Amino acid sequence: MSPLNSAYFTNDSIVHPDFFFISGFAGIPHTNYYYVFLCFVYALTVVVNTFVMFMIYTDHCLHSPKYIAVFNLAVSDLFGSTALIPQMIDTFLFKSHLISFEACLTNIFFVFAFITMQSFTLTLLSYDRYVAICFPLRYNEIVTNKSILLITTMLWILAAITTLLSVSFISTLSFCKSTVVNSYLCDPGPLHLLACNDNTPSSVINWTHPIMILWCPVLFIIGTYICIARALFKIAEASERLKAMKTCTSHLILVSVFYLPIAFAFALGSIIHHNARIINLSLTTILPPVLNPIIYSLKTEEFTESIKKLYRRKKMHCAEQINSCFNVHK
């Protein structure tokens, strides 16, 4: 019996396979180029997010509530990509399609926990913009470093608990039919289609989890921007209104990049072709982590000024070292 078809029994009714087979693309030639592209994206993701985290950590001027949230977003982007992309490259570029049952559940937990945190952090950033525009005089009183740290800690705990709950219900499913997962990773959706026992509790979690981690944050973000729009209309001067709107532009781009492809995939559902679904969802999960720091951090005035200060310090340090060496040899 092959490892793919063998199974072990957790009890009389639940059957878990030793391995799942991640199918990936079907019938598309030259897919290796796409996986090489993933390698490039992952390398760039590591560089830009590590740089953003380094700058925020070292520059005390960036130790503000907004950049604590940005640091949190960089962490979730970096580790989320690390949980996803290397596994995809190993699976498809190096033809390692088999993944053990335990590794599958572990992969689900880390990938979706970090995706959940990306969603929650975008929600937190919308809250920051809402208070900054709607209550500008009370911003420093309401949004403090302590309050943001407390909120981010609670969000991490919530993300871990909700994802762990979803994974635990998947472990109650019995897989006695096919073990081929029609996706680019251990995807809970296709996994549920393979179950052959009563998976009602797991299906409920499978539907409520996206509502909690995606649609509730989207509704919150829409609500904050409705309030922001009302506040902007009350600003008399057009220049001040435009200045306030510019502070929201980067965040709105991040929200669009993250949520719109997911909404597209959910809206089409089973209508969308298997390969198109994989491309859409994989790009949805790998592109935001590399775009977020570029759009929301590297292009901001505060961050660019911090980079300039670091460059001037390094330049002065190098000049001092050169002068010191010159004086010694002189």
Spatial neighbors of 42 by CB under 8 A, at least 6 apart, are 81, 82, 85, 86, 89, 286
- What's phi and psi for 19, nearest 5 deg? -140, 155
Q: What is the DSSP string of 95-126?
A: ---EEEHHHHHHHHHHHHHHHHHHHHHHHHHH
User: Exposed (0-12), middle (13-18) or buried (19+): which is 206, by Cβ within 10 Å?
Assistant: middle
163 in a structural domain: yes
Looking at per-residue confidence, does 25 or 136 come out higher? 136
Residue 320, domain extent = 301-330
Same domain, 253 and 314: no
User: What CA–CA distance (Å, rounded) separates 119 from 215?
Assistant: 10
Number of neighbouring beta carbons within 10 Å of residue 312 = 10
More confident residue, 117 or 207: 117
pLDDT score of 199: 67
Same-domain status, 181 and 199: yes
* One domain for residues 224 and 247: yes
Burial of 174 (0-12, 13-18, 19+ CB in 10 A): buried
> Are residues 77 and 133 located together in one domain of the fold?
yes
- Residues near 168 by beta carbon (within 8 Å), at least 6 away in sequence: none
Element housing 8 (H / E): strand 7-9
Region of residue 20 (left: phi > 0; alpha: psi -120 to 50; beta: else)? beta
Query: Is 6 a residue whose pLDDT tops 60?
Result: no
What does the block give as tokens for 125? 């950033």
User: Tens digits of per-residue pLDDT, 299-314?
Assistant: 777 778 888 787 777 6
Same domain, 171 and 313: no
pLDDT of amino acid 136: 87
- Residue 51 CA to residue 143 CA, distance in Å, equals 25
Tell me, yes or no, whether 310 lies in a domain: yes
**Do 76 and 113 share a domain, yes or no?**
yes
Name the DSSP letter for residue 180.
Answer: E
Q: Using 50, 70 and 90 to split pLDDT, how confident is the model at 318?
A: low
295 and 328 co-located in one domain: no
Higher pLDDT, 304 or 318: 304
pLDDT value of residue 149: 95
How far is Cα 237 from Cα 114, in angstroms, rounded to an integer?
41
- Tell me the percentage of the chain whose pLDDT exceeds 90: 29
Better-predicted residue by pLDDT, 270 or 90: 90
Task: Quote the CA–CA distance of 132 and 17 in Å, as a whole number.
Answer: 52
The rounded distance, in Å, linking the Cα atoms of 73 and 295 is 12
Mean pLDDT, the chain, rounded, equals 82
Is residue 12 very low, low, confident or very high in pLDDT (cuts 50, 70, 90)?
Answer: low
Query: Are residues 135 and 13 located together in one domain of the fold?
Result: yes
Whose CA is closest to 184, among 106, 55, 276, 292?
276
Distance CA 248, CA 186 (A): 35
Same-domain check for residues 274 and 141: yes
CATH number of the CATH domain containing 259 = 1.20.1070.10
pTM (2 d.p.): 0.86
Same domain as 228, residue 114: yes
**Is residue 1, in this structure, part of any structural domain at all?**
no
* Overall number of domains in the chain: 2
Give the residue-averaged pLDDT of 130-138: 89
Confirm whether 2 is domain-assigned.
no
Structure confidence by residue, pLDDT tens digits, 142-162: 999 999 999 999 999 999 999
